[in-house]
């Protein structure tokens, strides 16, 4: 998928034969931003510089830069000029979305008690291990969580700083401000829906879809595209088409993630297989399986309810995979992904986006909904 996103995202702000892919340009913008904060961080002392270095490594370590790529491509497809005076500022603004993503991931890993992310220890685990190795006073786990919360907060604050300091024209900054604010509010609301649904054991498909809508779809594709449209000064009709496209592809993206959370290869995903089941996530996949089991197989329904959110062995995970598959929930997820993708592409095709922009967004939509990591 990374090659598709890099190529599909288009040229850099100054295209040439030697131009690096957009993902590299995003990482360059992020490195420059971290460097701009170095003196302030260094002045604090007391180990803060090393802690922030961990955040920087987390941000730059990997990821497909889906959000900046969609924002940049949305801008291009709405008539943005990659050789224009505002192109570099647009790139920096789009790149700031990776800091929002970093905040969400660091905090999500704490909430889910995840131990690995992209094949590395999660941030809270890394600092817990550091605490243990140094034999500091207090609890290692508590220290790790506290530091990770602070670094996640810092990433979100810096995302705002990066946009504000990107160099956008005042009228452009004014256009994107409500979009940016709505995105931040929605992703936090989606996280709240997720954790509250778990503790209340909300088993409905509707509740799981609502989490997908606000925790993932809104800030992964819908709002980045909306941001790109606002950066370009697009009209309401294109914004509406982008949001329809982005919502459907964003939900399909999360449905694929739900499948990978149960069936994904740890060597590819960078996370233990079955982590969603152990974490007690009431995904659409799980909700669909449970609804079908309630109707046809009470024993399977009981197994699903007693297993979700427990410390499952690999053997137990394998058994649950079989049950979920046999109930038809996997086939249903694939059907939903296909239907959402088709609806999204129809909205895109009927929009006023440029032909080249439509082609690129189509390729990206297929890439993010058919990925294996």
**Domain locations in the chain?**
2-369
Mean pLDDT for the chain overall: 92
Query: Within a 10 A sphere around the Cβ of 36, how many other Cβ atoms?
Result: 13
Local confidence band at 271 (pLDDT 50, 70, 90 cut-offs): confident
User: What region, left, alpha or beta, does residue 59 occupy, with left being phi > 0 and alpha being psi -120 to 50 degrees?
Assistant: alpha
Q: Two tokens at 8?
A: 């599909």
Residue-level pLDDT at 252: 96
The radius of gyration computed from the CA coordinates of the chain, to the nearest angstrom, equals 21
Q: What percent of the chain has pLDDT over 70?
A: 95
Residue-level pLDDT at 19: 54
Please check whether residue 172 is in contact with residue 86, taking contact to mean a CB–CB distance below 8 angstroms: yes
Choose the weakest-confidence range: 1-5, 207-211, 334-338: 1-5
Q: Two tokens at 206?
A: 């509707």
Domain 2-369 carries which CATH code? 1.10.600.10
Q: Is the pLDDT of residue 62 over 80?
A: no
Q: Is the pLDDT of residue 12 over 60?
A: no
Residue-level pLDDT at 276: 87
Residue-level pLDDT at 14: 40
Query: Within a 10 A sphere around the Cβ of 83, how many other Cβ atoms?
Result: 10
Query: Within a 10 A sphere around the Cβ of 310, how many other Cβ atoms?
Result: 11
């Amino acid at each position: 998928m990374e090659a598709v996103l890099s190529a599909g995202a288009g040229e850099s702000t100054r295209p040439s034969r030697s131009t690096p892919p957009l993902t590299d340009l995003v990482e360059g913008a992020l490195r420059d931003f971290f460097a701009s904060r170095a003196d302030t961080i260094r002045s604090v002392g007391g180990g803060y510089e090393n802690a922030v270095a961990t955040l920087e490594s987390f941000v730059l370590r990997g990821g497909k830069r889906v959000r900046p790529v969609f924002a940049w491509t949305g801008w291009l497809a709405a008539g943005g000029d990659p050789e224009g005076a505002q192109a570099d500022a647009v790139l920096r603004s789009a790149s700031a979305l990776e800091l929002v993503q970093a905040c969400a991931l660091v905090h999500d890993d704490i909430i889910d008690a995840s131990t690995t992310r992209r094949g590395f220890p999660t941030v809270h685990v890394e600092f817990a291990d550091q605490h243990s190795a140094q034999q500091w006073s207090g609890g290692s786990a508590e220290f790790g969580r506290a530091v990770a919360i602070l670094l996640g907060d810092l990433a979100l604050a810096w995302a705002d700083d990066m946009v504000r300091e990107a160099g956008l024209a005042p009228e452009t900054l004014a256009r994107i401000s409500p979009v940016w604010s709505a995105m931040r509010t929605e992703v936090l609301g989606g996280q709240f829906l997720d954790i509250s649904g778990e503790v209340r054991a909300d088993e409905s498909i509707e509740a799981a879809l609502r989490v997908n809508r606000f925790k993932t779809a809104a800030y992964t594709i819908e709002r980045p595209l909306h941001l790109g449209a606002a950066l370009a000064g697009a009209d309401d009709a294109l914004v509406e088409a982008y949001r329809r496209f982005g919502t459907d592809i964003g939900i399909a993206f999360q449905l694929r993630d739900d499948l990978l959370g149960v069936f994904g290869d740890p060597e590819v995903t960078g996370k233990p297989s079955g982590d969603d089941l152990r974490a007690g996530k009431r995904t659409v996949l799980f909700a669909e399986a449970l609804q079908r089991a309630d109707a046809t197989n009470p024993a399977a329904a009981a197994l699903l309810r007693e297993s979700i959110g427990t410390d499952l062995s690999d053997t137990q995970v394998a058994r649950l995979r079989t049950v979920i598959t046999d109930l038809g929930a996997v086939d249903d997820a694939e059907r939903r992904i296909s239907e959402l993708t088709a609806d999204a592409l129809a909205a895109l095709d009927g929009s006023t986006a440029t032909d080249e922009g439509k082609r690129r967004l189509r390729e990206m939509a297929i890439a993010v909904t058919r990925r294996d990591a």
